[in-house]
Amino acid sequence: MTHLWITGASQGIGRAVALAAAQRGWTVSATARGEEGLTALVLAGAGRISAFPGDITDRAGLAAVVDAVEAANGPITVAVLNAGTHQPTDGAAFDPSVYDRLIAVNLGGAINSLAAILPRFTARKSGRVALVSSVAAYRGLPKAGAYCASKAAVTALAESLRLDLAAVGVRVQVIHPGFVRTPLTDKNTFPMPFLVEPEAAAARILTGLEGNGFEIAFPRRFVFLLKLLRLLPYRLYFALVARQTGV
């Protein structure tokens, strides 16, 4: 039986993944800070979703959440560390508090989640953990210094863990979504190319979780273009991005 534990489950990608997994017959344990959103998720989950409220920035509290999850629903077999946040940043008006917050949530939250789940996986010599990063991890983008830095760190963390944990039977994956329609992206005032609906994103993620590849990235055309940009020398990259974004 597949037992999924997913963080950031009350809205956006996390909610869509939880519902899609439940529809596939998985047992889903959902964690988020928003108890109202979790309650709505449980009601929509046809009896296969259980709510376990928690804050990923609280390491001890999150460990207690995982204790409760496994006591109620049995051993977790798949963990999707999805919780994260975004806030635009402008280097010309540098605010370190924004960087502190995004790094604490996006990177620190992933570390706290790993601290709660990895000892169980390594002891059982089995398990799959997927860290949700972003295509923004590929290269630095304007007005997104804190977000890009935090997500690039998540990607590097996943790469290292993939190498470290393969020998003990734990599979590590990274998820690189492009623009997905969520409450966070709804706040964006700029064009979002190849925008994906959360249900389509969830389908791609679950298909990836059932496979053996390391990276789950979508939409394909957008990912292809961004990976081409990653190959450009800095002089060309900076000139092209500045021209396209007007910075």
User: Could you give the CA distance from residue 62 to residue 41 in angstroms, rounded to a whole number?
Assistant: 20
What is the phi/psi pair of residue 216, to 5°? Answer: -115, 105
- CATH H-level, domain 3-245: superfamily: NAD(P)-binding Rossmann-like Domain (3.40.50.720)
Residue-range domain boundaries for the chain: 3-245
The predicted pLDDT at position 186 comes to 60
pLDDT tens digit at each of 247 positions of the chain: 899 999 999 999 999 999 999 999 999 999 999 889 999 999 999 899 999 999 999 999 999 999 999 999 999 999 999 999 999 999 999 999 999 999 999 999 999 999 999 999 999 999 999 999 999 999 999 999 999 999 999 999 999 999 999 999 999 999 999 989 877 766 666 667 888 999 999 999 999 999 999 999 999 999 999 999 999 999 999 999 888 877 6
Closest CA to 178 of 161, 150, 207, 200: 200
Q: Which residues pair with 50 in a beta bridge?
A: 29
- pTM of the model as a whole: 0.95
Question: Is 147 assigned a catalytic role?
Answer: yes
Closest CA to 180 of 204, 196, 169, 161: 196
Closest CA to 28 of 8, 53, 47, 55: 47
Residue-wise DSSP of 196-219: B-HHHHHHHHHHHHTS--SEEEES
The predicted pLDDT at position 190 comes to 61
Looking from the CA of 125 toward its CB, the CA atoms found within 13 Å total 2
The predicted pLDDT at position 62 comes to 98
Closest CA to 77 of 121, 20, 37, 132: 121
Q: Among residues 99, 138, 147, 237, which one is catalytic?
A: 147
